[in-house]
Amino acid sequence: MPHFFRHLNGAGWLLRAAARLQGSARSALWSLLAGWVGLAPAAPLVLDGAHGPRQLDGAALARHAQARDIDVPRDVAYQRPMRYRAVPLAVVLRELGLDPGDTLEAVALDGFVAQLPGALVLAQAPGQPQPWLAIEPDGAPWPALPGKAASAGPFYIVWPHDAGVRSEQWPYAVARLNVRAAPGQRWPQIAVAAQVPAGDRLRRGQSLFVMQCMVCHRMNGGGDAQVGPDLNLPLNPTEYFQPQALRQLVRNPASVRQWPTQGMPGFGPEQISDAELDDLLAYLAHMAGQRKVATP
C-alpha cells in the first residue's frame, strides 16, 4: 500500500515542532501547516522503521481494506466503552518492518513515549490480545479525555480484548511510531548490575520500570521521555523519600502533595500489584548504587 505513505519533505522539522504543541495551539498550527505545505487536513502519523521516515495519511488509512469500526468495552484513556474507526496495528507494523526482538516506540504529542515490546504488539496467536490503531476522523474529533483539554487523537493504540495489557501500553495522542532496539540495549545505564541473576526481583522491577515509568521518566539519563524528572540523577527518590511515602506516591501522588499542574497519574493495585510495587521500589533503590554520570 505504498500510496498511504509519503516521504518526509523539508517540512519535517515543522511537523515535529507542531507535534510538541498541545490542545488548541496544536490544532491551529496543524491547520496552518496543512494549508501551507499542502498536507491533508488530518494530522499525519510519522513512521520510522526499516524504510526510513515516512508519513502515513490518517484519512487514507481509515479507508484501508482492513479498517473496521471496533468496540473497546474497557477503554483505558476514556474510562468508558468506546467505538473507533481503526486498523489492526499489524498493518502498520508490516510497513515498519518490526521484529519481535525490537521495541515499538510510540511518541505522543505531550512528550509521553511508550516502549512496546515487539513480541507483545506482534502477537498473532488466538487468545493473545491484538492491538488496533484507532484513527481520529477528520470531521468528527473524539471528545476530550477526562480532565484534559485534548482528545486521544490523532492516533491511539487500543486493545479491544485487553487481557492484562497494561495502562501505559495504550498510548494516545500518538504522532510517531519508531522501530528501536530494546530499551536495555539502547540505554545500558538503566540496567541492574551485571551480577544480578536472571529472574531476580530487581530484573522484574527493571521491566516494570520500562513499561510503566519510562514513558514519562528517565533513569540515569537513559530514555526518551521528559514528562517527569530523571529518577536517579542527581538523586534517587529512595534517597530522599521515606519508604512508605514513596510507595504512597506511586499509588496516589496527590495523597503525598498537591498542586494544580501535578502531572503524575496514580497506579492502583490493578495496574501494579503490591508484589510488583516491591520489585519496582527494590529496582529504584538498587539503581541509587548504579549512578552514572550523565554524558552530555
Q: Which residues bind ligand HEC (CB under 6 A)?
A: 112, 168, 212-213, 215-217, 227-229, 231, 237, 249-250, 253, 262-265, 267, 280
| Cβ nearer to ligand HEC, comparing 158 with 250 | 250
What does the CA dihedral 152, 158, 163, 164 come to, rounded to 10 degrees? -50
CB of 20 to ligand HEC, least distance (A): 16
Residue in this structure with the C-alpha cell 522501530, named with its chain if needed = 179
> Hey, what's the cell of 189?
545505564
CB of 112 to ligand HEC, least distance (A): 6
| Cβ nearer to ligand HEC, comparing 14 with 145 | 145
| Cβ nearer to ligand HEC, comparing 96 with 173 | 173
CB of 28 to ligand HEC, least distance (A): 25
| Cβ nearer to ligand HEC, comparing 141 with 263 | 263
Kindly report the number of other CB atoms within 10 A of residue 64's CB atom.
16
Residue in this structure with the C-alpha cell 488509512, named with its chain if needed = 61
| Cβ nearer to ligand HEC, comparing 32 with 144 | 144
CB of 53 to ligand HEC, least distance (A): 26
Spatial contact of 288 and 230, defined as CB atoms under 8 Å apart: no
CB of 207 to ligand HEC, least distance (A): 12
| Cβ nearer to ligand HEC, comparing 113 with 179 | 113
Spatial contact of 63 and 14, defined as CB atoms under 8 Å apart: no
Kindly report the number of other CB atoms within 10 A of residue 21's CB atom.
15
Kindly report the number of other CB atoms within 10 A of residue 255's CB atom.
11
CA-angle at 207, arms to 107 and 93, nearest 5°: 40
CB of 272 to ligand HEC, least distance (A): 6
Rg of the chain in Å (alpha carbons): 19
